[in-house]
């Protein structure tokens, strides 16, 4: 896959999830009485599940090309990212079909993992001048999904 195009996959999935959510399409796991905000959260977690499974495959099966698209060299980091991504993806699919406890339980590691990954990508850009497509475009996902989850969970839990 072209490096520039592959860099658009994750931001595109976030936009697609929000597009389906805001258009009123019934979310996977929908239950009678779900509010719009719950539907939005279900859509985000559903697409996040696919993204994390995709990430697991890309960071394991295609480790060398994935590392190059980020501007990094291949080493063991990809297999660790693949392992955590697989767990997060499976957890997202589980949470879509369950309630608030599952949403919070999967959102906490997603929020911390992606936010800190985003900070690392920013560091790479500022300090190392690494502007590879998968090091900069991923920032939309790294900060967009956690921010979306925080806001939606805060509304659902009435913080």
What average pLDDT does the segment 34-54 reach?
Answer: 97
Q: Are 153 and 41 in contact (CB under 8 A)?
A: yes
Nearest-angstrom CA–CA distance, 74 and 57: 15
- Which residue did the predictor score with more confidence, 24 or 77? 24
Q: Give me the pLDDT at residue 153, please.
A: 98
Q: Give me the pLDDT at residue 10, please.
A: 85
Q: Indicate yes or no: pTM above 0.85.
A: yes
Element (H, E) at 8: none
| Contacts (Cβ under 8 Å, ≥6 apart) of 150 | 107, 111
pLDDT higher than threshold 60 for residue 1: no
Nearest-angstrom CA–CA distance, 42 and 117: 23
Q: Give me the pLDDT at residue 67, please.
A: 85
pLDDT higher than threshold 80 for residue 34: yes
- pLDDT tens sequence across 127-152: 999 888 888 888 999 999 999 999 99
Q: Give me the pLDDT at residue 4, please.
A: 57
């Amino acid at each position: 896959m072209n490096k520039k195009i592959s860099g658009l996959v994750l931001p595109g999935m976030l936009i697609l999830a929000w597009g389906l959510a805001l258009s009123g399409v019934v979310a996977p796991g929908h239950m009678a009485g779900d509010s719009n905000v719950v539907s939005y959260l279900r859509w985000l977690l559903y697409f996040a599940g696919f993204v994390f499974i995709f990430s697991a495959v890309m960071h394991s099966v295609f480790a060398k090309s994935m590392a190059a698209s980020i501007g990094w060299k291949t080493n063991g980091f990809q297999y660790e990212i693949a392992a955590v991504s697989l767990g997060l993806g499976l957890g997202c699919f589980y949470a879509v079909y369950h309630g608030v406890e599952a949403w919070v339980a999967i959102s906490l590691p997603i929020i911390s993992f992606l936010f800190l990954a985003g900070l690392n990508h920013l560091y790479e850009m500022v300090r190392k001048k690494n502007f590879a497509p998968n090091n900069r475009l991923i920032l939309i996902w790294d900060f967009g999904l956690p921010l979306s989850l925080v806001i939606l969970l805060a509304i659902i839990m009435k913080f």
